[in-house]
Structure 1
Amino acid sequence: MGIVLNQSLKNTIITYIGFGIGAVNTIYLYPFFLGATYYGLVNYVLSAAAIIMPLLAFGMQNTLVKFFSQCKNENEENRFLSFAVVLPLLLSIPLLLICWYFYNDIAVYLSRENKIVKSYLWIIPFIGLCMAYFEIFYSWARVQMHSVFGNFIKEVGLRLFSLISLLGIYYNWINVEQFVYLTAAIYFVAFLVTMLYAFYLKKPSLQLTIPHNSKDILVYTFFIILSGGVANLLLDIDKIMLNQYIKIENIAYYSVATYIALVISVPSRAMHQIVYPITAKLMHEEKHDELNDLYKKTSINLQIVGGYVMLCIFVNINQLYEMIPPEYGGGIYVVFMIGLSKYFDLILGNNNAIIFNTKYYRAVLFLGVVLVFLTVALNMIFIPLYGILGSAFATLLSITLYSLAKLGFVVKRLHLYPFTNQTLYSLGLTFILFMLFYFWDFPFNSIIAICLKSILVSLAYVYLNYRFVISHQINEVIDGLLKKFKIIK
């Protein structure tokens, strides 16, 4: 347990450091140093690579973690590790050959609106393969109980080298075209370093034999490809589709807005890591009442924490956008729509953990596939009409419908319900504070003004949540802090 707690703490710190570097890159350096056209191009390339990554990895990054512990001796471990590394490569080769054969047709289709894309399409499968094998070797390290290094490379290393490369543009060491190729090189180096680290932890012994439980592995892998593909498509399909209908600069505007909105979902990561095993245990022991109580607690606590983050973003959004080039200003409403979709997902608490610990999880995965088709259809309708606002609305609508479907599934099938009267009180409190703080700004420097307003919002939000006891658990934490600093007895 000491190893788990120690590495969890380190990974949490690393994630937040990486997120901070990413915020500097996304909100400031990319818009000013790279320019909207090449910023949009880089986002398009990385989004497309992320979408094909689960297919090129063949789901082995998750399969490796699940089945490695079932190996009974070192010989079985070596056989399984060899299988996990070789199989994706064997399956990727024919896929890449097909792409190469139809390259011109694919290039013409994908670059019909933005000709600049055509020259860089070959980078997409290269980065996708690097991403896939990075994840596989990261999992190789994780099963050896070493997760920190790979997480550092993923969360901090990639963003830090992007930051250095952006500074290279500023100091004229490289130009914007070279930056695109350098981005591909960064992902290759990340994969290579992670592979060497994984081999350092456990020296490879190549055995070209099929594991005895290959059928179970392949069935599980199919569903991992499905779930991973759905998750990545939902994150990145909007950027891919924007390229098909409007100028590539709009992907840059959209990316800044969505990155800001995604901050709202950050608090859920830590809680889900803690709550997932508890949920699994309660479901295994069939403790329905305790599970229902946990469902309600996670819902209101995430609603309060996520609502605070959302409120700080929303009331400061106008002055935040004063800090970036004016052509990005159309993304303000994108922040609101994507932010609301993330907030609604938050208030469902440990909904996903409940679903994936039932026998119905496969049905929900197929529901995710339906959602992908719905998202594509909505984007095809709304992007030509409203541009990036249409894409944001399509995302808001599709994710809301998906969340409602999952909520309805849990309520009807398992008779669990996440909402209480406190849910309504929290919604009302957040809305009132938004109305009070959104329509005025301090006439100062944008950074100072954002800090001052955030302090006022924080004081009001924390006091009112504490005063009206919206969450007993959060009140207990605040009481503990007040007693620690001897403010109350």
Structure 2
Amino acid sequence: MGIVARQGIKYSIISYLSFLLGTFSTIFIYPTNTQFLGQLRFIQPAAELIYPFVVFGLSFANIRFHQKFKAQNQQIDFLEFSVKFIFCNFIFILLIYLILAYTIPLIRDTNYWKMRYYIMPTVLILALTQLFARYISNFKRVAITGIFENFFPKLGSLITFIFCVYLGISHKISLYIFILFFAFGLIGIIYYFFHLNKDKKSGTLSILKDKEFKSELFYFCLFAVLGNLGNQLALKIDNIMIAELIDYKQNGVYSILISIVGFLSVPLLGVFAISGPIIVEKLETHKWEELREFYQKISRFLFLFGTILLSCIFSGMDYLFHLMKNGQDLINAKSVVYILGFATLFDLATGFNSQIINYSKYYRFNIYAMLLLAVLTIISNWIFIVHFHLGIEGVSLATAISLTIFNIVKVIFNYKKFGIQPFTKIFIPILLTGVVSVLIAYTVPDFTNNLCNLILKPSIVLCIFFISNFGFKFIPLQQIFKTNFKNFLTGK
């Protein structure tokens, strides 16, 4: 897997450091005030529902058409155009939102409106962050951007919580401090871009004078924004609906549980970011066999690490909850972890199926499917919360069902159109190893100390997987680390 594995692993390491920070916060800090945590966890998802309209697909266009722009030395000119467009589009969307709010009184009764002074600045920052982070992936570098995208917001969340809950700083000032960390992340990504970029502006965007290409670019961006919106609606609507239909406290509890499940997706983010340009190259050159092999290798990599992590979570989460203040609230809702854990693992197993569709001529299908998923998720969430009163367990069930159906549809589509699918025989021993490792961890007698159990049980899982890898050859560790330490760190 070469640079993909190295950059993906480095990105994962950085993300796991962020996760460790989040874990520390989750265990020792956040449970003291789930009400304020629920507010914190409302801002970013709320902003992520708006920023796709602001970006308007330009972040993906800077990957999809990078080679075409580069052939005419206009890639930096298009990036500059994208930045200007985002600023102008943000102002336009902000004005539309204000007009609608003062025209429709119902909007002003929502938490969205009450938190607008925090949400809207975050929208602009996230839009620019995504643009530069995706552009940097053209250099096949994603590890450093992971610091600014993942670590800074988690650090900001922790500091904000401490300032407000422990130091008595006002809610208003504390929430602005939270937003400030997103801004620091954006500044860091922009600085890293200038460090990597050696290209110069050509001073023209003559390629946009080509009506056929301009039309292709517009429709790609249009469908990209719809797909991005559908993705945010489908995967980030949970916190918004819980805050609006239940309360901030339950949103805080759900956020803690979902952060544990989110541990599974850390490798996915790095691998997907670095794989984008490679997928584009395979599709444009019609190297279907190489795409199939790459697809299955990445899926195996993600499924293996996802299974290991999920097995560790299942074997240790009860002991973790007992260590946390107000942990009984989490124990009562731990079914959320089981439900979303299995759904996320299947999502990992299907690999970058969305990326294959997005970067192909069939990208419109992914948009329609994603919007359908969004509608299904919203409706099922509404039914489970309002009519069946299942609370956050119902939210997790709705999300899991929708996400699984969506992934099955994409796998079938890719197989019919490209003759490729992500699954191989190695998935079976990986899954069986996960089941066996959890069962063994459960049968090992407990210590009286929960911290010792928390360390012991996941360690048993890791040891079983490590030993099993010698027999089943889940992943070629020697091939991945076949480089000196300096080159491994630099990705060269």
After TM superposition, the score normalised by the length of structure 2 is 0.81
Please say if 1:330 is aligned against 2:332. Answer: yes
Aligned position for 1:186: 181
Which of 155, 160, 177 pairs up with 1:160?
155
CA spacing shift, 1:244–1:473, aligned 2, 3 Å:
closer
Matches within 5 A, 1:317-396: 317-324=317-324, 325=326, 326-356=328-358, 358-384=360-386, 385=388, 386-396=390-400
Shift of 1:375: 0.7
**Which amino acid in structure 1 is aligned with residue 227 of structure 2?**
S
Hey, what's the Cα distance between the residues in 1 that align with 2:320 and 2:395? 22
**CA positional deviation for 1:368:** 1.1
277 and 205 in structure 1: CA distance in 2 versus 1, 3 angstrom threshold: closer
Contact kept in structure 1, 2:430 and 2:474, CA below 8 Å: no
2:376 aligned with 1:408: no
Whether the aligned pair in 1 keeps the contact of 2:223 and 2:363 (CA below 8 Å) is no
Match of residue 83 from structure 1: 81
Show CA shifts across 1:365-388 (max 9, x none). Answer: 211111111111111111222010
Q: Secondary structure at the match of 2:176?
A: helix
Q: Which moved more, 1:84-93 or 1:376-385?
A: 84-93
Deviation per CA, 1:132-175: give whole Å up to 9, x if none: 13333555767789866654322323332333333334651624
Residue 233 of structure 2 is aligned to residue 233 of structure 1: yes
Q: CA 1:303 to 1:77, structure 2 compared with 1: closer, same or farther past 3 Å?
A: closer
CA contact (8 A) 2:224 2:367 kept: no
Letter in 2 for 1:42: L
2: CA distance, partners of 1:242 / 1:416 = 38
Alignment of 1:293-312 (within 5 A): 294-312=294-312
Read off the aligned partner of 2:403 and give its amino acid letter.
Answer: I
Cα deviation 1:198-235 (Å, max 9, x = unaligned): 67979999989884354443222212212222222222
Give secondary structure in 1 for the equivalent of 2:49. helix
Q: Is the 8 A contact 2:11 2:144 kept in 1?
A: no
SS at match of 2:333: helix
Q: 8 Å contact 1:108–1:118 — kept in the other structure?
A: no
Report the Cα distance in structure 1 between the residues aligned to 2:140 and 2:427, rounded to whole angstroms. Answer: 39
Instruction: Provide the aligned length of Structure 1 versus Structure 2.
Output: 471
Going from structure 1 to structure 2, the CA distance change for 1:439 and 1:402 (only over 3 Å counts) comes to farther
Deviations 1:166-197, CA, capped at 9 Å, x for gaps: 33346516244432232233334544565577
Q: Matches of 1:473 and 1:145 in 2, distance apart?
A: 22
Quote the Cα distance in structure 1 between the aligned partners of 2:272 and 2:135: 23
What is the CA-CA distance between 1:362 and the residue it aligns to? 2.1
Cα–Cα, structure 1 residues 144 and 477, in superposed 2: closer, same or farther, change >3 Å? closer
Per-residue Cα deviation, 1:318-354 (whole angstroms, up to 9, x for no partner): 1111122232333311111111111111222453454
Partner residue, 1:128: 123
Instruction: Say which is worse superposed, 48-57 or 77-86, in terms of deviation.
Output: 77-86
Aligned partner of residue 443 in structure 1, secondary structure: coil
Is the Cα–Cα contact under 8 Å of residues 303 and 347 in structure 1 kept in the other structure? yes
SS in structure 1 of the partner of residue 447 of structure 2:
coil
Query: Over alpha carbons, which structure has the higher Rg?
Result: 1
CA shift, 1:90, in A, is 2.5
The alignment partner of 1:322 has SS state of helix
Distance 1:110 1:308, change over 3 A: farther
Map of 1:38 onto structure 2: 36
SS in 2 for 1:444: coil
How far did residue 59 of structure 1 move? 2.4
Whichever residue aligns with residue 84 of structure 1, its letter is S
Q: Is the 8 A contact 2:246 2:391 kept in 1?
A: yes
SS in 2 for 1:122: helix
Q: Post-superposition shift, 1:464? A: 4.0
Q: Distance in 2 between matches of 1:44 and 1:392?
A: 17
**Structure 1 pair 382/313, CA: closer, same or farther in 2 (3 Å)?**
same
Partners of 2:339 and 2:242 lie apart in 1 by 17
1:472 Cα deviation after fit: 5.6
**In 2, Cα distance between the equivalents of 1:147 and 1:265?**
15
Q: Secondary structure at the match of 1:102?
A: helix
1:228-307 matches, cutoff 5 A: 228-272=228-272, 292=292, 294-307=294-307
Q: Is 1:445 the counterpart of 2:449 in the alignment?
A: yes
Alpha-carbon shift at residue 40 of structure 1 (Å):
0.7
1:227-253 CA distance string (max 9 Å, x none): 222222222111111123212211111
Structure 1 position 47, deviation (Å): 0.8
Kindly tell me: are residues 357 and 239 of structure 1, through their superposed partners in 2, closer, same or farther at Cα, counting changes over 3 Å?
same
Residue pair 2:376, 2:402 contacting (<8 A) in 1 also: yes
TM-score (norm 1): 0.81
Query: 2-side partners of 1:283 and 1:271: how far apart?
Result: 18
Deviations 1:75-127 (A, max 9, x none): x5675344212222323323211221233576745756xxx765323321221
> Alpha carbons of 1:195 and 1:273: their partners in 2 closer, same or farther (altered >3 Å)?
closer
2: CA distance, partners of 1:148 / 1:302: 17
Change (3 A) 1:416 1:62: closer
| Structure-2 residue corresponding to 1:93 | 91
Once the 2 structures are TM-superposed, how far is the Cα of residue 434 of structure 1 from its aligned partner? 2.8
Q: Deviations over 1:388-441 (max 9, x none)?
A: 000000011001111111122233333434445543343334234334434776
Residue 281 of structure 1 deviates from its aligned partner by 5.6
Aligned 8 A contact 1:141 1:147 in 2: yes
CA distance in 2, matches of 1:286, 1:207: 33
Distance change (3 Å), C-alpha of 1:363 and 1:456: same
Structure 2's unaligned 5+ residue stretches are 483-492
- Aligned match of 1:483: none
Q: Which runs of 5+ in 1 are unaligned?
A: 481-489
Q: Which has the higher contact order (CA 8 A, sep 6+)?
A: 2
Matched letter for residue 212 of structure 1: K
Contact between 2:441 and 2:458, CA under 8 Å: does it hold in 1?
no
Task: Give the partner amino acid of 2:127.
Answer: A
Q: Using a 3 Å threshold, how does the CA distance of structure 1 residues 373 and 199 change in structure 2: closer, same or farther?
A: same
* Residue in structure 1 matched with residue 437 of structure 2 by the alignment: 433
> Which residue matches 2:52?
54
